[in-house]
């Protein structure tokens, strides 16, 4: 009977939601007029722009703009579904003028497209960048769209988040509020295509094999992606390493060739770090990201920090929720995979942070949204917390040390005998998978996946504490400090921080986890990879000396999680994370040139004695 009632409730909820969406859509189309313009830039190039204008003439309206490489479609009289089905509909209820623009060189806009076009702080004459294109668009809109109040906001998620960042650097006086959300910030250090120099091939190839195809003239027809004949991503990327991917993707994709031509963090990559444009920022900033964003978790944290450091007087706030990529704009933020968060965090964010933020700065409506400096959802505890700074002032760093027999200890190892280590053989022919099941596309749920499957492999080391006697909350940057030796000249190091649930754990009410066995669940809280040859410099890679003990230190993205009393804290270490990241041949070379015969087995030793102690620096919130 309970299942029948639950089913009826679900059916009624879905029916109500659809009816509400249909009602909202009808209202928006009745109360808005769509117009399309080609807006001239300072160099004469025209950008295609869709503008949705309220029919209401009783007051002046603010402009809220989204600049995108993903198309402002549909072209013509039909309305964008973003207005009708996403939380953008609430902005329509507030009578915002909604603007969606195809960026330079994409879809129906003229000009040449350049990926993450570098910011030019010394522009003269008709020189352009994405900041100047935003300036020119805002200038035209405020002068030509009737009944606007002269206040403009810009927001965007992912790649449009990059364009929102560039908008903040435009300096236009009408721009009052900007929200870069999961912004692409640095494609070498941590966003999308690379993490600490390791190539994230699954995201890169599947995305860029279509997105990167040339578009010689404006069009409403998008490119076709690569036609995969193998629907098992592990098998496909094992058979098609980066050296073959170049042949598969073809010669016409300019950015892919540039990516291969710049394997190290040289000036070409450095100029594409969007945070370098974040000086003299005048609009109010709201940086938004997801704790479990598989694509641009790095970008949100590090853009916020750069703005904060370089513009101490700017109204700059950060929001980090328990979300996958863009989940904060969805209708449901209560779960990710098998993990539950106890509330609909997305709708809470929309109603309590984002919409009041734009209403205040663009409409002078409501009280000043006195957001805390950092508004962060602490998973595990499942509560929103507000902090006066990030990392919080109450955070105290503390080392937890790897120990023999798979233990973690709060104390520095006392055994002085040199050579206490744990070891494994890393075999590129059988790399460690990033998730247990067979998949075609990269999953978003892997960011909280159960890691028990990995711990069963001989090439993964697991270290864990005893059950905790009290809650342990981490808030801030995690730093891995490994003492290693390898038998080859290069290797990758993957460090994973894991929350081990009690064996009798289950969600209440029972069954809420879709019958997945949650007892003993090993929740991935944070994982990151480091390409070993960059351990001393991302600009100038160095080979390892076989058998020599060396330090490999690197930061993982910030964490905000409570390990509850009775849970265990676990650290896993491995040397592949496949096919998420490309395989390291485990010899010092340009990996993009690696042939099948170049991939070699390597013995990895992780040391844990008094002279060579490996540890994780934890940001413990007191």
524 has pLDDT over 80 = yes
Q: Which residue has the tokens 């008709």?
A: 126
Question: What's the mean pLDDT in 269-277?
Answer: 98
Percentage of the chain exceeding pLDDT 90:
92
CA angle 245, 247, 253 (to 5 degrees): 85
Is 57 within 8 Å of 147 (Cβ atoms)? yes
Q: Which residues, 6 or more positions from 60, have their beta carbon under 8 angstroms from its beta carbon?
A: 147, 148, 149, 150
Q: How does pLDDT run across 222-257, given as a tens digit for each residue?
A: 999 999 999 999 999 999 999 999 999 988 899 999
- Angle between helices 130-144 and 159-168 in degrees, nearest 10: 80
Q: In terms of Cα–Cα distance, which of 415, 410, 399 is closest to 466?
A: 410
Which pLDDT score, from 0 to 100, does residue 23 have?
A: 75
Q: How does pLDDT run across 378-399, given as a tens digit for each residue?
A: 999 999 999 999 999 999 999 9
Which pLDDT score, from 0 to 100, does residue 515 have?
A: 83
pLDDT band at residue 509 using 50, 70 and 90 as cut-offs = low
- The Cα–Cα gap between 566 and 505 comes to 10
7 has pLDDT over 50 = no
- The Cα–Cα gap between 256 and 258 comes to 5
Burial pattern 303-330, b for ≥16 Cβ within 10 A else e, equals bbbbbbebbeebbbbbbbbbbbbbbbbe
Q: In the predicted model, what is the mean pLDDT of the chain?
A: 94
SS3 (DSSP) at 481: strand
CA angle 393, 399, 401 (to 5 degrees): 160
Cα Rg for the chain, rounded, in angstroms?
Answer: 25
513 has pLDDT over 90 = no
95 has pLDDT over 90 = yes
- The Cα–Cα gap between 546 and 568 comes to 35
437 has pLDDT over 70 = yes
Which pLDDT score, from 0 to 100, does residue 511 have?
A: 44
Report the DSSP beta bridge partners of residue 38: 48
Is 150 within 8 Å of 238 (Cβ atoms)? no
Q: How does pLDDT run across 319-356, given as a tens digit for each residue?
A: 999 999 999 999 999 999 999 999 999 999 999 999 99
Question: What's the mean pLDDT in 464-483?
Answer: 98
Tokens coding 550: 């060396």
pLDDT band at residue 118 using 50, 70 and 90 as cut-offs = very high
4 has pLDDT over 50 = no
Q: How does pLDDT run across 279-321, given as a tens digit for each residue?
A: 999 999 999 999 999 999 999 999 999 999 999 999 999 999 9
13 has pLDDT over 90 = no
Q: Which domains does the chain possess?
A: 2-186+272-387 (3.40.50.1820), 395-621 (2.60.120.260)
- How do 316-321 and 284-290 pair as beta strands? parallel
- The Cα–Cα gap between 208 and 251 comes to 13
Exposure on the CB side of residue 122, measured as CA atoms within 13 A: 0
Which pLDDT score, from 0 to 100, does residue 19 have?
A: 56
Question: What's the mean pLDDT in 372-376?
Answer: 96
Least confident of 125-139, 158-172, 500-514, 536-550: 500-514
Q: How does pLDDT run across 54-66, given as a tens digit for each residue?
A: 999 999 999 999 9
Q: Which residues, 6 or more positions from 421, have their beta carbon under 8 angstroms from its beta carbon?
A: 485, 605, 606, 607, 608, 609
Exposure on the CB side of residue 41, measured as CA atoms within 13 A: 26
512 has pLDDT over 70 = no
478 has pLDDT over 70 = yes
Q: How does pLDDT run across 22-80, given as a tens digit for each residue?
A: 678 999 999 999 999 999 999 999 999 999 999 999 999 999 999 999 999 999 999 99
Is 268 within 8 Å of 117 (Cβ atoms)? no
Which pLDDT score, from 0 to 100, does residue 415 have?
A: 73
Q: How does pLDDT run across 184-228, given as a tens digit for each residue?
A: 999 999 999 999 999 999 999 999 999 999 999 999 999 999 999
- The Cα–Cα gap between 37 and 83 comes to 18
- The Cα–Cα gap between 596 and 580 comes to 19
CA 586 to chain CA mean position, Å: 28
Which pLDDT score, from 0 to 100, does residue 367 have?
A: 74
Is 410 within 8 Å of 469 (Cβ atoms)? no
CA angle 395, 350, 89 (to 5 degrees): 160
Tokens coding 558: 């910030």
462 has pLDDT over 80 = yes
15 has pLDDT over 70 = no
Q: How does pLDDT run across 139-179, given as a tens digit for each residue?
A: 999 999 999 999 999 999 999 999 999 999 999 999 999 99
Which pLDDT score, from 0 to 100, does residue 20 have?
A: 61
Instruction: Provide the sign of the torsion angle of the four alpha carbons 234, 236, 242, 245, taken in this order.
Output: negative
For residue 313, CA distances in Å to 73, 280, 310 come to 38, 9, 9
- The Cα–Cα gap between 41 and 117 comes to 16
Which pLDDT score, from 0 to 100, does residue 379 have?
A: 98
């Amino acid at each position: 009977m309970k299942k029948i009632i639950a089913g009826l409730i679900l059916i009624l909820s879905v029916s109500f939601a659809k009816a509400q969406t249909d009602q909202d859509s009808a209202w928006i189309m009745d109360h808005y007029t769509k117009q399309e313009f080609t807006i001239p830039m300072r160099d004469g190039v025209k950008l295609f722009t869709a503008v949705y204008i309220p029919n209401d003439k009783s007051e002046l309206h603010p402009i809220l703009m989204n600049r995108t490489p993903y198309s402002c479609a549909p072209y013509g009289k039909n309305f964008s579904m973003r207005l009708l089905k996403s939380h953008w509909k609430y902005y329509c209820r507030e009578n915002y003028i909604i603007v969606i623009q195809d960026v330079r060189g994409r879809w129906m806009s003229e000009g040449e497209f350049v990926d993450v076009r570098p910011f030019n702080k010394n522009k003269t004459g008709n020189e352009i960048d994405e900041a100047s294109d935003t300036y020119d668009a805002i200038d035209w809109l405020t002068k030509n769209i009737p009944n606007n109040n002269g206040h403009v906001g810009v927001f965007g998620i992912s790649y449009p988040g990059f364009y929102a960042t560039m908008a903040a650097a435009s300096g236009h006086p009408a721009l009052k509020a900007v929200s870069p959300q999961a912004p692409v910030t640095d494609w070498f250090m941590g966003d999308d295509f690379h993490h600490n120099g390791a190539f994230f091939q699954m995201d890169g190839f599947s995305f860029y094999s279509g997105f990167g195809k040339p578009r010689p003239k404006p069009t409403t027809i998008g490119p076709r992606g690569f036609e995969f004949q193998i629907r098992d991503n592990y098998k496909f990327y094992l058979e098609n390493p980066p050296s073959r991917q170049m042949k598969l993707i073809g010669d016409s994709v300019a950015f892919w060739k540039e990516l291969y031509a710049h394997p190290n963090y040289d000036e070409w990559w450095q100029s594409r770090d969007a945070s370098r444009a974040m000086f003299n920022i005048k609009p109010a900033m709201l940086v938004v990201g997801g704790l479990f964003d598989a694509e641009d978790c790095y970008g949100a944290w590090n853009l916020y920090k750069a703005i904060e450091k370089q513009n101490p007087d700017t109204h700059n706030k950060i929001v980090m929720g328990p979300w996958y990529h863009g989940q904060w704009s969805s209708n449901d933020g209560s779960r990710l995979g098998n993990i539950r968060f106890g509330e609909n965090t997305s709708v809470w964010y929309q109603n309590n942070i984002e919409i009041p933020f734009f209403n205040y700065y663009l409409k002078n409506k409501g009280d000043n949204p006195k957001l805390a400096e950092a508004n962060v959802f602490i998973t595990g505890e499942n509560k929103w917390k507000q902090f006066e700074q990030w990392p919080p002032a109450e955070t105290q760093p503390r080392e937890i040390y790897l120990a023999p027999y798979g233990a973690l200890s709060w104390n520095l190892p006392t055994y002085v005998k040199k050579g206490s280590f744990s070891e494994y053989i890393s075999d590129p022919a059988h790399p460690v998978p990033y998730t247990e099941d067979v998949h075609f596309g990269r999953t978003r749920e892997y960011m909280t996946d159960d890691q028990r499957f990995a711990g069963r492999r001989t090439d993964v080391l697991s270290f864990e504490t005893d059950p905790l006697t009290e809650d342990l909350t981490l808030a801030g940057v995690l730093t891995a400090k490994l003492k290693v030796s390898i038998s080859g000249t290069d290797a990758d190091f993957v460090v994973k921080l894991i929350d081990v649930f009690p064996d009798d754990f289950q969600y209440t009410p029972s069954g809420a986890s879709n019958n997945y066995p949650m007892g003993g669940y090993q929740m991935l809280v944070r994982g990151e990879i480091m390409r070993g040859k960059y351990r001393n410099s991302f600009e100038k890679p160095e080979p390892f000396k076989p058998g020599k003990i060396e330090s490999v230190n690197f930061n993982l993205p910030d964490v905000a999680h409570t390990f509850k009393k009775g849970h265990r804290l676990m650290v896993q270490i491995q040397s592949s994370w496949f096919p998420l990241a490309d395989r390291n041949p485990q010899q010092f070379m340009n990996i993009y040139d690696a042939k099948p015969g170049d991939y070699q087995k390597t013995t990895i030793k992780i040391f844990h004695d008094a002279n060579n102690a490996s540890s994780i620096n934890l940001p413990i919130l007191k």
